[in-house]
């Protein structure tokens, strides 16, 4: 496994991030534990979750990770643990979501209890909060750092200007600020290249792409559709894309290119992200051991320059701003 420093920090993390959103709703606890063991054995030390993961039982995913840590064997010490705050974990009171100081304090203690640990390595804002001022948010985070409950702060789904505003406020307060940004980024969805990724690079944030295969679209969706195994390609972003004739043709060209080179489309999609400027590592969310094995192969996949150029022709990016929307 290859490792990279997370943004401008000294923290070394694996170039694949184990996403855990399926743990609980789609993958039961024993299989989730087995996948985490396999990931750690393969050198993946960066695990990502959120306080709302768990399907109908929000928080269940954190509990599953907590019972895995409780097995000992150095599991917690070897893991860089990332979770998120913003979403409501119950249907109760009005201050039980978003980024007020009240909710941040409540949410971190609840996550620590579910995770069975005394600290979170990377505590991430799951979304921007349009109502809470950044001074309040950073005051709450600074207290958590001083208490030893969190070490670093990251963002997720932030526009470029929110990254700038957050970190400029942090600088004024003498805080470290954001060190990472999770964003939707893959071959088929490259709008993050316009402003989010440049802002992240300028402020020293590591970029952590989520949905690196666009909900299964880039994982051989048409081949699986023909074989009768394309369950994920029938819903969400993948289904919307395949319903569009132009996008369907684009995906067909992609799968044909991969087949010509003897490469698996899903592994190519991950390997491409590992070549992109600013990317620390994509989040892979395996439901099974086989999916984890495929993701691990992507780290070793070398994409020739000519092949990368062919990918650019099939999936041209928007280009940087403002040129992407102006002269």
**What are the catalytic residues?**
53
Residue found under tokens 């992609």:
254
Rama region for 116: left / alpha / beta (φ>0; ψ in -120 to 50; rest): left
Closest CA to 103 of 73, 71, 129, 70: 129
> Beta strands of 20-173 (E only): which ranges?
46-48, 80-85, 120-125, 150-156
Q: How far does the chain reach from its first CA to its final CA, in angstroms?
A: 42
The CA-CA-CA angle for residues 246, 251, 255, to 5°, reads 150
The backbone torsions φ and ψ at residue 255, rounded to the nearest 5 degrees and listed phi first, read -65, -35
Q: How many CA atoms lie within 13 A of 309 on its CB side?
A: 3
Residue found under tokens 């939707």:
184
Query: What whole-number distance in Å separates Cα of residue 262 and Cα of residue 66?
Result: 40
Distances in whole angstroms, Cα of residue 239 to Cα of each of 41, 217, 225, 230, 248? 35, 8, 11, 10, 10
Judge contact between 206 and 200, C-beta under 8 A: yes
Query: What whole-number distance in Å separates Cα of residue 318 and Cα of residue 63?
Result: 40
Contacts of 267 (CB under 8 A, 6+ apart): 294, 295, 297, 298, 301
> Quick one: tokens of 199?
């802002």
Query: What whole-number distance in Å separates Cα of residue 283 and Cα of residue 274?
Result: 11
> Quick one: tokens of 293?
């094995």
Closest CA to 187 of 276, 94, 78: 276
């Amino acid at each position: 496994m290859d490792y990279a420093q997370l943004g401008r920090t000294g923290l070394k993390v694996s170039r694949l991030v184990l996403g855990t959103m399926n743990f609980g709703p789609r993958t039961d606890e024993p299989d989730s534990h087995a996948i985490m063991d396999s990931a750690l054995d393969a050198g993946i030390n960066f695990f990502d979750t959120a306080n709302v993961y768990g399907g109908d039982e929000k928080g269940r995913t954190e509990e599953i990770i907590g019972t895995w840590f409780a097995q000992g064997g150095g599991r917690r010490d070897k893991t860089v643990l990332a979770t998120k705050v913003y979403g409501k974990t119950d249907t109760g009171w009005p201050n039980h979501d978003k980024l007020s100081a009240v909710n941040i304090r409540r949410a971190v203690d609840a996550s620590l209890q579910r995770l069975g640990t005394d600290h979170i390595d990377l505590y991430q804002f799951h979304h921007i909060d349009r109502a809470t001022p950044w001074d309040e948010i950073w005051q709450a985070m600074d207290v958590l750092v001083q208490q030893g409950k969190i070490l670093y702060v990251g963002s997720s789904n932030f526009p470029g200007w929110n990254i700038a505003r957050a970190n400029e406020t942090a600088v004024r307060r003498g805080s470290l600020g954001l060190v990472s940004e999770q964003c939707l980024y893959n071959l088929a969805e490259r709008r993050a290249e316009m402003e989010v990724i440049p802002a992240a690079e300028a402020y020293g944030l590591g970029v952590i792409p989520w949905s690196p295969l666009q909900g299964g679209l880039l994982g051989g969706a048409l081949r699986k559709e023909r074989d009768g195994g394309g369950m994920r390609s029938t819903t969400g972003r993948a289904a919307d894309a395949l319903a569009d004739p132009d996008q369907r043709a684009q995906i067909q060209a992609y799968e044909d290119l991969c087949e010509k080179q003897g490469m698996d489309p899903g592994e190519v999609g991950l390997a491409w992200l590992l070549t992109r400027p600013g990317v620390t590592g994509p989040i892979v969310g395996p439901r099974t051991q086989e999916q984890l094995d495929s993701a691990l192969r992507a780290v070793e996949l070398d994409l020739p320059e000519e092949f990368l150029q062919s990918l650019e022709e099939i999936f041209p990016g928007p280009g940087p701003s403002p040129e992407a929307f102006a002269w």
